[in-house]
Amino acid sequence: MTTASSPVVSVRFMDEDDLDAVLALEGEIYSQPWSRQVFVDELAADHRIYLVAVVDDVIVGYAGLMVIVGDAHVTTVAVHDGARRHRIATRLMLDLVDGSLVLGARHLTLEVRVSNRAAQRLYARFGLAPVGVRKDYYVDEDALIMWVTDIDGDEYRRRLAAIRGELDAGADDD
């Protein structure tokens, strides 16, 4: 990375050429990683957005979502341990939300491990609130279901603008 406190991060659309790096990161982060074929299928599907975060030509994170009948469902957000606390997940989420709006989303949802408090705090900044639990969703753990509605409204646009402002101010916390 460029410096310990302020890496230069770029976010771009994921493509199949990224999959070796994404799969390596997936294997480091998750006990039950997605297969190459899952990513290939997701990249080929309609109404999907998959992004990678890059620092010094190295993929340090990725995220994805699908939009179904106005609902955007975040399918994955992952950041390499060594790249955390530089707002990379925030950047990925902002771009996912922006893309979901282009695809006509009105609401946003996801599942997160009940033990993953850091991710829950990130998602709460995006207005997502707990609405239920999916038992054994992660084989070894339950998932907290989180939702936010009306992401296409002015109030939510103001929330996104505030998050972008925090990024511009350079705060590091996810």
Angle at 130 between CA 27 and CA 94, to 5 degrees: 60
Give burial (CB, 10 Å; 0-12/13-18/19+) of 65: buried
Give the DSSP letter string of 72-106.
EEEEEEEE-GGGTTSSHHHHHHHHHHHHHHHTT--
Which of these is catalytic: 42, 123, 156, 166?
123
Catalytic residue among 26, 42, 62, 111: 111
Active site (annotated) includes residue 30: no
Q: Is 174 within 8 Å of 148 (Cβ atoms)?
A: no
26 catalytic per annotation = no
* Beta pairing partners, 129: 147
- Annotated catalytic residues are 111, 123
